[in-house]
Amino acid sequence: MENPSKMNLALKWGGIMGVVLIVVSLLLYLAGMTDIESGESNWIGTLLNYIVSIGAIYMAVAEYKKLNRDKLSIGDATVIGILAGIIGGLFMALYTYVFMTMIAPEMLDAIRDQAMAGAGDMSNDQEEQMADMMDMFVSPGFMTAMTVIMKFFLGLIVGFILGLVMKNENVNTILEDID
């Protein structure tokens, strides 16, 4: 029997993760639970983000283990977690880019203005340097890249932990010992 495809499972569950996170994010925005000044949702949004992300990674690892005759290594779980995290992150990155450029472009200006106001007294040169840095860090491109990177690390950590908890590498030898 052939091993199940890690990429297919990552595409499936990472895609589900991304779509659900987009729907949750849009619902929070439409319900007024996203702060326009900072671009952040309240604690409910953060909690839902982690629940959906961790749940999707768990489902991908659990399905792989089931399809692989109950065999799972830490490495397999980690790879699946990373792949699902990246796929979900790519969905969220695309949504973030569209959101920040088309749906709520004023959010970027508000975040930039808030950061500049918190900088305090500066000379004109320092203020110009700060504005240039803000333009780089508070841009749709940078935010989309950070979304993928954050989901990569979440997938790495969650996949590794799931691998430690769910591993079962010696299923065949255990079954042979019973006979």
pLDDT in 10s for each residue of the chain, 179 residues: 567 899 999 999 999 999 999 999 988 888 887 765 555 667 888 899 999 999 999 999 999 999 999 999 999 999 999 999 999 999 999 998 998 888 877 877 777 777 667 666 777 777 778 777 777 777 788 888 999 999 999 999 999 999 999 998 765 544 444 44
> Is position 135 within any domain?
yes
> Is position 74 within any domain?
yes
> Is position 70 within any domain?
yes
Closest listed residue to residue 12, CA positions, set 62, 48, 46, 51: 62
> Is position 45 within any domain?
yes
> Is position 96 within any domain?
yes
Q: Number of folded domains in the chain?
A: 1
**Measured CA distances, 31 to 25, 67, 91 (Å):** 10, 40, 22
Closest listed residue to residue 166, CA positions, set 52, 85, 77, 57: 77
Domain that holds residue 166: 6-178
> Is position 1 within any domain?
no
> Is position 64 within any domain?
yes
> Is position 12 within any domain?
yes
Say what the pTM is.
0.82
**Measured CA distances, 175 to 68, 70, 78, 178 (Å):** 15, 12, 25, 5
